[in-house]
Amino acid sequence: MTQNGIKQISQEIIKRINKISQPVKIMHVCGSHEHTIMQHGLRTLLPKEIEVISGPGCPVCCVPSREIDECLKLAEKGITITTFGDMLRVPGSKSSLAEAKENGADVRIVYGVNNAVEIAKKIDEDVVFMSAGFETTAPTTASELISGPPNNFSILSCHRMVPAALEFLINSGETTLNALIEPGHVCTIIGTKPFNVFSEKYGIPQVVAGFNPLDILMSVYMILRQMKNGESLLQNEYKRAVREEGNIKAQEALEEVFYVTSREWRGFPNIPNSVMDVKEEFEEFDARKKYDIEVKDVKEAPKGCICGTILRGMARPEDCKLFKKTCTPTHPIGACMVSKEGTCNIAHRYSTI
């Protein structure tokens, strides 16, 4: 499609949005959605009555200090830590993996769990992969464990589940949610069914969205159209990639390797049924069991950081006194400023404030 064609379609969607505009607070839970919204200035194109807020959509940002501290404990034992580059500067209680690396710990950046397994095959030392991510990346971790990695390899599972966090937010009453834009990447794996409850039980209009500006604008229009018609449905705007049943093979791998349990997220208390941990059948590859890690006296947030409030959709980065002052991408204080999918990092790149 030509740029002129895209512009014409955008203008038509915005015209339709304006015709049925009404006060609404829409939450999305995807760092890629937030990037698209900020990069293309989509909030400025929408009527002021329509507020699009970001929720816990960055898997790196959602990893709590406790799990960073667990990795630091492992590094102190001389274990090689492998993880995504974004994880290195996420703050634990007192330090980060980047600081541990500077102090001599063997911390290595990998692009995926398969790279971590390759490292384990080449060295004699024990290797732990810090496997962060939502339902999108968890199947690759599961597949590696099913394939049978070397005995010196294990994972620290930090995988989290988006629907559980949304249900927690809805039930907490902290954030008023009139509608939801659901994450296309997650839905390619788990399908749309796990999100049905939010429309059927709570009466919340929802749209599964893709990642270009037209996807986001169309999703807003579809939500407003539901509200005008008095409907609360789960609609799929991202049909080119998302099916109702999702990726069955990926789900089977998750079912084989992980069980669902409860644990805190950064900025959240214990969220029921929100994390994936390693089943007993694969416990030889479970770093928590293998090394009997115990972390105490966890300090969650640096002083002045409102990352938790931002992740719960109760504030924007511009509301933080540290934003663009003492907290920047080169010197991040909170987790939301670290990852390229973090709301603060994105706002730092595109916000005019």
Three-state SS string across 10-56, please? HHHHHHHHHHCCCCEEEEECCHHHHHHHHHCCHHHHCCCCEEEEECC
E strand residue ranges, the chain: 24-28, 50-54, 80-83, 107-109, 127-133, 153-159, 179-183, 206-209, 234-236, 258-264, 270-278
Domains in the chain with CATH codes: 16-53+166-236 (3.40.50.11750), 65-161+246-291 (3.40.50.11740), 307-350 (no CATH)
Residue 297 has pLDDT above 80, yes or no: no
Q: What pLDDT does residue 2 have?
A: 77
Asked if the model's pLDDT at residue 300 lies above 80, the reply is no
Confidence of residue 327 (pLDDT cuts 50, 70, 90): very high
Q: What is the pLDDT of residue 298?
A: 78
Q: What is the pLDDT of residue 353?
A: 75
Q: What is the pLDDT of residue 60?
A: 94
Report, in this order, helix, strand and coil percent for the chain, each rounded to 5: 45, 20, 40
Q: What percent of the chain is modeled with pLDDT above 90?
A: 92
Give tens-digit pLDDT for 149-186: 999 999 999 999 999 999 999 999 887 889 999 999 99
Residue 270: band (very low, low, confident or very high) from pLDDT cuts 50, 70, 90: very high
Q: Do 40 and 353 touch, CB atoms closer than 8 A?
A: no
pLDDT for 90? 94
Q: Could you give the CA distance from residue 110 to residue 104 in angstroms, rounded to a whole number?
A: 18
pLDDT band at 273 (very low <50, low <70, confident <90, very high): very high
Residue 284 pLDDT > 90: yes
Q: How many residues are listed for the chain in this entry?
A: 353
Q: Which pLDDT does position 3 carry in this prediction?
A: 77
pLDDT at 127 over 80: yes
- pLDDT given at position 265: 96
Residues near 258 by beta carbon (within 8 Å), at least 6 away in sequence = 138, 142, 157, 159, 276, 277, 278, 279
Buried b (16+ CB within 10 A) or exposed e, 300-314: bbbeebbbbbbbbbb
Q: Which amino acid is at 342?
A: G
Strand partners, 208: 182, 236
Question: What's residue 295's pLDDT?
Answer: 86
Tell me the CA distances in angstroms from 201 to 171, 208, 259, 316, one per residue in order. Answer: 11, 18, 25, 28
The whole-number pLDDT of residue 271 equals 97
Confidence of residue 148 (pLDDT cuts 50, 70, 90): very high
pTM of the model: 0.94
Q: What is the pLDDT of residue 207?
A: 98
Position 19: which residue type?
Answer: K
Name residue 189's amino acid.
Answer: I
- Asked if pLDDT for residue 57 goes beyond 90, the answer is yes
**Separation between Cα atoms, residue 65 and residue 266, nearest integer Å:** 7
Q: Give the model confidence (pLDDT) of 65-116 as tens digits.
A: 999 999 999 999 999 999 999 999 999 998 999 999 999 999 999 999 999 9
- Mean pLDDT computed over 23-41: 97
Q: Is the pLDDT reported for residue 19 higher than 80? A: yes
Q: Are 209 and 219 in contact (CB under 8 A)?
A: yes
* Collapsed DSSP state (helix, strand, coil) of residue 234: strand
